[in-house]
Structure 1
Amino acid sequence: MTTSSKDLKKQLRKEALARRDALDEFWRVEIALEMAETAKDHIAIEPGQVVSGFWPMRSEVDVRPLMFALREKGARLCLPAILDKTTIVFRELVRGAQMVEMGFGTVGPHEEAEVLDPSLMLVPLAAFDARGHRIGYGAGYYDRAIGKLVDKGLTPRLIGIAFDCQEVQQVPNEDHDVVIAEILTESGLRRFAA
């Protein structure tokens, strides 16, 4: 019996997340700070450019230092806000703004925050391969959100955020998957051929 792409992705996700969960908590903090320094050196930002990040959940890379480093370079920040079981939008993150629970152990800006279209997206992921194919958490929020931006004629720069231990040999291809051109890990910013 052959394993379906969905089942294989589920297994790869489970294994990659177990490796990520096993990383030392204090080491993860140091790496988050190092990744912010890498971003300062290797991610060009235009003043006012809209950058989407994410509030970390569980053992994810804490991208807040990275987001704040990009804000220092002039970025306008936003975070995903879950509207329903299939949709996220990106709400502006400003100092002192009210944050609300978004589910999945994460928070985002209150519904009064302005909805923005990011031109650079820091994309969370569970696993990735050397081709830039990613495995998300299984709900498809980012694939659909990126698809909606593309439908508007926008082509956001996508940078996956992960630890090296989340790399797998090969992610099964599925038609709806969005390929990530760049991945930032503790080893640096890797670019993949399109």
Structure 2
Amino acid sequence: MNSAAIDIKDRLRTGALARRDALDPGFRARVSAGLGEAAGALGVAPGSVVSGFWPIRSEIDLRPLMAALADGGGRLCLPAILDRTTIAFREYVPGMPLIDMGFGTKGPGADAAVLDPDLMLVPLAAFDAAGNRIGYGAGHYDRAIARLHAKGRFPRLIGTAFDCQRVEAVPAEAHDAPLGEILSESGLRLFPLAP
């Protein structure tokens, strides 16, 4: 990655996360609670594997959505951080005990089955109207998506964020996996977004 792109991504990430952190906590909680109602809009077939994530800091909280997807027959998984460069998706059943995964997040222990997601609810720091995203800088999701593609698996990629995390343009590079959709307080929308 070139240094100019790194600098731009760092600046965009910092600004988007500051805007997200500044949101009223009550607003964040209301949006997160309402995500359960979006389960039907996702069109997840019973038995489909959906990866979510345990929220950290001021992230949108997917737990209500994940519970609704499980109630509808979806099979859930959460990322497990295996090392500095690798995540695996371990099966998650709502209510099961979770362990500390580092970075403030939680996930299923090593005894949980490893699954390949059909649909990935992807965390992000910032996104643009074309579906490019900026993560937290470790590249875990880009590498996980590349590994799935190498296995012939092409999961549906839905970014999850608050609208305030949208930026003008993300300097996308060849290794960056673009999103197909975004789920925010404005609902589920396909990329590219309207201006």
Q: Where on the TM-score scale, by shorter chain, does this alignment land: which range?
A: over 0.9
Matched residue type, 1:12: L
- Partner of residue 50, structure 1: 49
Report 1:15-164 matches (<5 A). 15-40=15-40, 42-164=41-163
Percent identity between matched residues is 62
SS of alignment partner, residue 11 of structure 2: helix
- Partner of residue 12, structure 1: 12
How many residues are matched?
190
Uncovered stretches (5+) of structure 1, i.e. residues with no partner: none
Matched residue type, 1:39: A
Instruction: Please list the CA deviations of residues 139-158 of structure 1 after superposition, one character each: whole Å capped at 9, or x if unmatched.
Output: 00000001111111011001
Instruction: Please list the CA deviations of residues 12-35 of structure 1 after superposition, one character each: whole Å capped at 9, or x if unmatched.
Output: 000000000001111111101222
CA distance in 2, matches of 1:165, 1:109: 31
CA distance in 1, matches of 2:88, 2:191: 27
Runs of 4+ with deviation above 3 angstroms: none
Kindly state the Cα deviation for residue 174 of structure 1 after the two structures are TM-superposed: 1.0
8 Å contact from structure 2 (residues 67, 94) kept in 1: no
Kindly state the Cα deviation for residue 69 of structure 1 after the two structures are TM-superposed: 1.1
CA distance in 2, matches of 1:37, 1:97: 23
Instruction: Please list the CA deviations of residues 70-96 of structure 1 after superposition, one character each: whole Å capped at 9, or x if unmatched.
Output: 111110100000000000000001244
SS of alignment partner, residue 33 of structure 2: helix
Instruction: Please list the CA deviations of residues 109-158 of structure 1 after superposition, one character each: whole Å capped at 9, or x if unmatched.
Output: 01100000010000000000000000000000000001111111011001
Instruction: Please list the CA deviations of residues 31-85 of structure 1 after superposition, one character each: whole Å capped at 9, or x if unmatched.
Output: 0122221232x11111111000000000000000011111111101000000000
Matched residue type, 1:136: G
8 Å contact from structure 1 (residues 97, 110) kept in 2: no
CA distance in 1, matches of 2:36, 2:133: 22
CA distance in 2, matches of 1:132, 1:34: 23
Q: Is it true that 1:166 corresponds to 2:162 in the alignment?
A: no
CA distance in 1, matches of 2:133, 2:94: 31
